[in-house]
Homo-oligomer: A and B are copies of this chain.
Amino acid sequence: MVTAIVLVKAERMRVNDVAAELAEIEGISEVYSVGGRYDLVVMIRVRSNEAMADVVTNHMLKVDGIIETETMPAFRTQSRHDLETMFSIGMDE
């Protein structure tokens, strides 16, 4: 599994819509509405680098109302949970 965390600043009036639209994109597993300097934190969990590139450089760029994103690729993951199995449910089709 290839994972990336994306910090998102969105236009105030469109924050909730942006969150909803992002959550619809295949490969985006979670969208968190947060306080602090960013508005949303997005988790991308996909099967390949190609799928990651597709989410980041195609699908996310088309969501209207995003002002700025900062994408952080996860090089290693440590967890007490078997994330690979947990998040692959429904990834197959």
Contact = CB atoms under 8 A, between A and B. Distances in A.
Interface core residue of A5, A52, A72 (most chain B CB under 10 Å) = A72
B72 A81 contact: no
The number of times this chain is found in the oligomer is 10
B73 A73 contact: yes
Interface of A: 2-6, 12-13, 15-16, 19-20, 22-23, 29-38, 41, 49, 52-53, 56-57, 61, 66, 69-81, 83, 86-87, 89-90
26 contacts: A4-B35, A5-B41, A19-B78, A23-B78, A23-B80, A29-B81, A30-B83, A32-B77, A33-B53, A33-B78, A34-B72, A34-B74, A34-B75, A35-B73, A36-B36, A36-B37, A36-B72, A37-B70, A38-B72, A41-B72, A49-B49, A49-B75, A57-B76, A71-B73, A73-B73, A80-B90
